[in-house]
Structure 1
Amino acid sequence: MAKSAPSLENLPQELLDLIISWLLLAGVAHLCACNKNLAMRVQPILFGTAKRVDHAMKWACGRGTETAVRAAISYGASASTVLVGTDNQGEPIRTLTLYLAAKQQQPDGFQVLIDLGARVDVDGVRPSIVTELVDRLCAKPRFLVRFIKAGLVPQLPESLYDGILLAALNIPKDDNTACLECVDRVLDAGADPNCVQYRYRTNKREIISPLSTVILSRRWDLFDLLVRRGGDIKMVRDPPRPYTPPLCSFHVPIMAAAASMATAPDGVDPEPVQRCIDAGADINLTIPSTWGDYFYFIMPVLLYLNSVTSWEEKAE
């Protein structure tokens, strides 16, 4: 009976090294995935240099591969940053591993990195990368929830807290417990419950605040939480400069309530306005606004009338 050809895992290390020297890095990675014995012999080659370790870590973060992430870290990769290139002066450019996982929409890999101690307040990373990470978190609630629950918000610049808070208030209702916990944690980190920010929706420039956000979405548990944590129901704060009166003054809670009352899915619903009044809002508040080149003052009743899209009674 003829003897079977020796398998790769039984080859002397010198021959295996010679074979591997002819493979691309991706081929070495595939070889490493064949079985545990080969992995133990090939990994030191795959992660043999700092450049290869960074390359492997970048690949693992982009694909959410837990085994590869852990292997790269065991060979010296940082759980927080990875080298992605050099600038014109030859200086290394590093990015956040959490940013790579979020960019490639890898929630499991994102969680693995958090569990392994990934941070965002590290040296050598451009501030714009941190801002881009926050933008992606705000657009993806499942990443945002993991980030907040891991206690990473205090590692961010304080200027980004408000955006995180407004995004946390928009976590879907089907995960309401997580939403309440996340909002509480962001407020604990130092976010301002009375912050105001611009937003653009259907070509309209609006200004919103945390209270107006939850009023428009009718999230009364969040409304109560914000009021309890210092949300000012009487707030009339100027928006960020350069300031011109907005088309829609939704950053003022009573104004948001008036608009919400007019756009209730089941007809006129006075609950938003009533809740604001019960909390101390002024139903006769007057604030400046604009329409094109016109400057005028608006009250809740006028905003309500302006928000009504149809005066026809809805069918039962």
Structure 2
Amino acid sequence: MATPLQFTDLVDDVFYMILGYLDTADILALSRSCRRLHSRLEPCLFRDELSCDRALRWACCKDLPTLVRRAVAGGGHVSAPIRKVKKYAWDSMVFRTLSLRIAAKFGSLGAFRALLDLGATTNVQLPKEVHNNRYEYLHIDDEISSLAKSLSMKRHAALLKVFVESDAATTMPLIDGTAFLDQCLLNALRSGASFEAVECLLQNGASPARLQSERGNNPCPLALAVIWNRPVVDLLCRFGATMEGKAIPRNLGLKWFHIPIFAAARQMHEHGTEVVQSLLDAGTRANHCADVSVRGGRRKPLSLESEFRLQESDKQTNMYSSCAPMPIYIYLDSITSWESNQRLPPTEGLKFWLKNGLDIEAGLPLHQMPPRCCCVKQKLSTLYSFITAKWTWQTHLHDEYFHVLDMLTEVRLGREAIPAFKPKRCISGEALPDSPAARHAIICNKQMLLCDEEICTRVGSTH
């Protein structure tokens, strides 16, 4: 009986032809099956530049630091292994990728540390012209931006610590005009990174003060912390972050997430008044003014989803855009429910702003410093109009909605003029009707009285 032919007994031509159909993972798995195969496959894994780079990329994905060192020793490009080769009749196009980005993307701590020990960097010098009949490409901006995102992920805190303490962190180029560690700080705040990870970035060169002073659309780090990562608010303040937000001239592109007090007002409906109160205690004014706009949609009317319960639809229609120069506008825009049994009922939220210095006359909030006020640049919506532009009159079914509009249609509101509510009563003392239409009529009458009084005031001031 003939002895069966084994894979290890194949002649070289057949052996290597079969290997041509296998990828690096399969070849490496075969090399571990027996010593004879390992001795024959070792040269195949690192037979040329493309094979070494393929092995290096696979080692970065699977966190194999030993294979990383073997691939680099065999001729692999430690910083930018080849990702893809497109061959044409006259030349070839070689596309490379950053090895540090691959290891960071897959969270390969051992491979990442091995790459740094071997001198991997992002400062890769490729031939600018045709070299050996091939063009070489490395989309360095996209690669570095992806590296910053991967390092800033919450589960990659150990990778981030290893990187910022290495020499490679000091030679990183800018990302769209922003320092690399500063961009990592913004990404880390967005992802809710740990206190230790944010502290590590700040101690190794990331600067919230530099981010607040630069132009552009990068958000304010302190505002991001208020939204996503509140435990690090005090830490950022110790490293130079200021409560005023981005220290640049206000422009139409400025959004609410550039200013801490606006970001805190946005989160107040869901998380309560704690963060807003801390900002106010630090010196921020309740009527802080900035040129900010909000864009949203009018809420659909109440729909009967069951026989026993009316619910407000979450879908929006009829897009609107309105100037929102003070935090009170942002707070009112953030309200998604008018139920009275929530953590912070809207009436209590409005009273909180009034107790902390907000003054309202004829439905308009007042600013303390008119020369620097952004409100004079464009016509403001009254606060009650701002709400009714978003919610329909059927929302009067909720007592909280009616009481908020009842307050905002008073002639004056402030710290000394906070109305008290009695059960099933309006501010005027009249009985609160059950019908949404009747409640809507009461608010409309108060709005008309405010408009008439404002007209009389203007006429009187001209004579």
Same fold (TM over 0.5): yes
1:203 — aligned with what?
A: none
2:243 aligned with 1:224? no
User: How many angstroms apart in 2 are the aligned matches of 1:166 and 1:196?
Assistant: 15
For 1:189 and 1:284, the matched residues in 2 are separated by 24
Residue identity (%): 26
Structure 1 residues 193, 286: closer, same or farther in 2, change over 3 A?
A: closer
Which residue number corresponds to residue 119 of structure 1?
121
Moved more, 68-77 or 288-297: 288-297
Q: How far did 1:37 drift?
A: 5.7
Is 2:17 the counterpart of 1:22?
yes
Specify the alignment match of 1:192 in structure 2: 211
Query: Aligned equivalents of 1:35 and 1:193: distance in 2?
Result: 60
1:95 to 89, 94, 97: 97
Residue 252 of structure 2: aligned partner: 244
Q: Which has the larger radius of gyration?
A: 2
SS of the residue 1:93 aligns to: strand
Q: Secondary structure at the match of 2:17?
A: coil
The residue that corresponds to 1:154 in the other structure is 170
The alpha carbon displacement at 1:97 in A equals 1.2
2:293 to 281, 290, 293: 290
Q: 1:213 Cα shift? A: 1.0
Shift of 1:195: 5.5
Residue 57 of structure 1 deviates from its aligned partner by: 2.2
Kept after mapping to 2: 8 A contact 1:61/1:69 = yes
CA distance in 1, matches of 2:48, 2:256: 57
Residue equivalent to 1:169: 189
Taking the aligned partners of 1:116 and 1:67, their CA distance within structure 2 comes to 12
Would the aligned equivalents of 1:80 and 1:96 in 2 still touch at CA under 8 Å? yes
C-alpha deviation, 1:166, in angstroms? 1.0
**Which is bigger in relative contact order (C-alpha 8 A, separation at least 6)?**
1
Normalising by structure 1, report the TM-score: 0.73
Against the structure 1 CA distance between its residues 187 and 163, is the aligned structure 2 distance closer, same or farther, given a 3 Å change threshold?
Answer: closer
2:412: which partner in 1? Answer: none
Q: Is the 8 A contact 1:233 1:276 kept in 2?
A: yes
Is residue 140 from structure 1 mapped to residue 153 from structure 2 by the alignment?
Answer: yes
| Structure-2-length-normalised TM-score | 0.53
CA distance in 2, matches of 1:291, 1:259: 11
Write the distance in 1 (CA, Å) between the matches of 2:209 and 2:162. 15
Deviations 1:242-295 (A, max 9, x none): x6345x51211111122222221xxxx322122213333233211112245756
CA distance in 2, matches of 1:233, 1:313: 32
Given residue 220 of structure 2, which amino acid in structure 1 is its aligned partner?
S
Q: Quote the residue 2:333 is aligned against.
A: 306
CA distance in 2, matches of 1:41, 1:189: 55
Q: Which runs of 5+ in 2 are unaligned?
A: 127-137, 296-319, 344-463
Change (3 A) 1:145 1:237: farther
* Cα RMSD, aligned residues only: 3.8
Deviation at 1:115, TM superposition (A): 4.8
Amino acid corresponding to residue 329 of structure 2 in structure 1: L
Does the 8 Å CA contact 2:223/2:245 hold for their aligned counterparts?
A: no
The offset of 1:77, in angstroms, is 1.4
Contact kept, 8 Å, 1:64 with 1:107, in 2: the verdict is: yes
CA distance in 2, matches of 1:239, 1:59: 49
C-alpha distance in 2 between matches for 1:141 and 1:115: 24
- Going from structure 1 to structure 2, the CA distance change for 1:97 and 1:315 (only over 3 Å counts) comes to closer
How many pairs does the alignment contain?
292
What is the aligned counterpart of 1:178 among 155, 175, 197?
197
The CA deviation at 1:146 is 0.8
